[in-house]
Amino acid sequence: MLTTKVMQKIFFRIYEKFLKAFVFFKTRKMNNLSSEECDFWVHRIQGTGLECVTSPLNRPVVILHGASVGELNGIFPVVRGLRNSGFKGSIFVSVGTFTGFKKAVSVARNLSFEVVPAPFDFHEPVSRFFQSSVPDLFVTFEAEYWPVTHAFLSNLGVATLLCNGRISYRSFRVYRLLEGVFKDIFQRLWRAGMVSHGDKLRIIDLGADPSRVHVTGNSKHEELFETCRNFKYSPSEWAEMLDIGKDTRVFVAGSLRSNECNMIVDVCSKIIKKFDNVKCILVPRHLGRVSQLAELLNRKAIPCSFLSRVLQGLEKPKERVLIVDLMGFLFDIYALGDAVFCGGSLVPIGGHNIMEPIARGRKVIYGPYISKVKSEQELLQSLGCGVMVKNAKELERVVVNFITNPHEGRVPRDKYEKIRRSFYGVSKTYVRWIVDWLRERHQL
Helix (H) or strand (E) segment spanning residue 331: helix 330-334
| pLDDT, tens digit only, all 444 positions of the chain | 556 677 777 887 888 888 888 888 878 788 888 999 999 999 999 999 998 888 888 999 999 999 998 899 999 999 999 999 999 999 999 999 999 999 999 999 999 999 999 999 989 999 999 988 899 999 999 999 999 999 999 999 999 999 999 998 889 999 998 988 899 999 999 999 999 999 999 999 999 999 999 999 999 998 888 887 788 889 999 999 999 999 999 999 999 999 999 999 999 999 999 999 999 999 999 999 999 999 999 999 999 999 999 999 999 998 999 999 998 899 999 999 999 999 999 999 999 999 999 999 999 999 999 988 998 999 999 999 999 999 999 999 999 999 999 999 999 999 999 999 988 899 999 999 999 999 988 666
CATH class name, domain 33-218+424-440: alpha beta
pLDDT at residue 442, as a whole number:
67
> Does residue 60 have a cis peptide bond before it, meaning omega lies within 30 degrees of 0?
yes
- CA dist 63 and 117 (Å) reads 12
DSSP state of 362: B
Query: pTM for this one?
Result: 0.85
Boundaries of every domain in the chain: 33-218+424-440, 235-422
CB contact set of 271 (below 8 Å; sequence gap of 6+): 251, 278, 280, 396, 399, 400, 403
Q: State which fold the 235-422 domain adopts.
A: Rossmann fold (3.40.50)
The whole-angstrom separation of Cα 230 and Cα 331 is 10
Cα separation, 357 vs 172, in Å, equals 28
CB 196 within 8 A of CB 234: no
pLDDT score for 56: 86
d(CA 235, CA 364): 18
Residues 66, 163: Cα–Cα separation, whole Å: 10
Rounded distance, CA 100 to CA 66, Å?
9
pLDDT of 329 = 94
